[in-house]
Amino acid sequence: MNTAYLDMIQGKNPGVTPVWYMRQAGRSQAEYRKIKEKYTLFEITKEPELCARVTELPVKEYGVDAAILYKDIMSPMVGMNVKVELKAGVGPVFNTPIRSMVDVEALDTFDPTKVDYIGKTITLLTSGMLDVPLIGFCGAPFTIASYLIEGGPTKNYNKTRGMLIGAPDVWDALMTKLADMSIEYLSMQAKAGANALQIFDSWVGAVNADQYKQGIYPHMERIIKTVKERYPHLPMAMNGVGT
């Protein structure tokens, strides 16, 4: 196996600069475009053989040093019985945004068996299909929360920051549930055979350092500490945009 990515992320010198892209499978590929004519993103992720094929496509076409599992940061919401729609040109949309403690308490505890197809995809990929490491990932609690609270994508995150600052008890309860989900979701991917893990906090740049330390960092620390205790051999990376 090409271990350049794993060597780099563990502080070793791989001899080259390893390359991979966050959205490797996409519109730049003719075969991917043909698949998307028949299937939505969520439909692809629910078919392990098809999802594995899509994940492998850019590795074969571009010769990158790592594969990243093809799925969306909202994929685990199925495991919490949260209904999400991916609207073309918009993004994830929720018809019933979370605004109160009652809404948070109504969220189910994450059940990994409801997304077992993701584990099956990972096992397919890491059982000889790939000659590069496979990166599993999850969306960080803040970024997931922003969609749940706003009801969809936003440019200002006013409702999200409003809850963080104005209703810290509700915020903490929501973040605790999402952190629990992240731990079990990442653990499921590790158990299935992922070679490395990454946490994407795409929108965390919307808060300042004090807000992060107060309402976000404790949950991130728990996620990372717990997963690393369970899988000490597995390297982890963090990606935060605009921060």
Average pLDDT, the chain: 95
Of the candidate ranges 46-50, 84-88, 138-142, 147-151, the one whose mean pLDDT is the lowest: 84-88
**Average of per-residue pLDDT across 136-149:** 96
Tens of pLDDT along 210-240? 999 999 999 999 999 999 999 999 999 999 9
E strands, the chain, are: 67-68, 85-87, 91-93, 134-139, 196-201, 236-240
- Location of structure tokens 């949309």: 93
Segments making up each domain of the chain, as ranges: 4-240
Q: What is the pLDDT of residue 185?
A: 98
Displacement of CA 200 from its chain's centroid (Å) = 6
> Domain 4-240 falls in which CATH fold?
TIM Barrel (3.20.20)
- What is this structure's pTM? 0.95
**Average of per-residue pLDDT across 108-114:** 96
How many angstroms separate the CA atoms of 42 and 45, rounded?
Answer: 5
* Structure tokens that stand for 197 in this block: 């893990």
b/e for 34-48, b at 16 or more Cβ within 10 A? ebbeeeebeebbbeb
Of the candidate ranges 23-27, 49-53, 70-74, 182-186, the one whose mean pLDDT is the lowest: 23-27
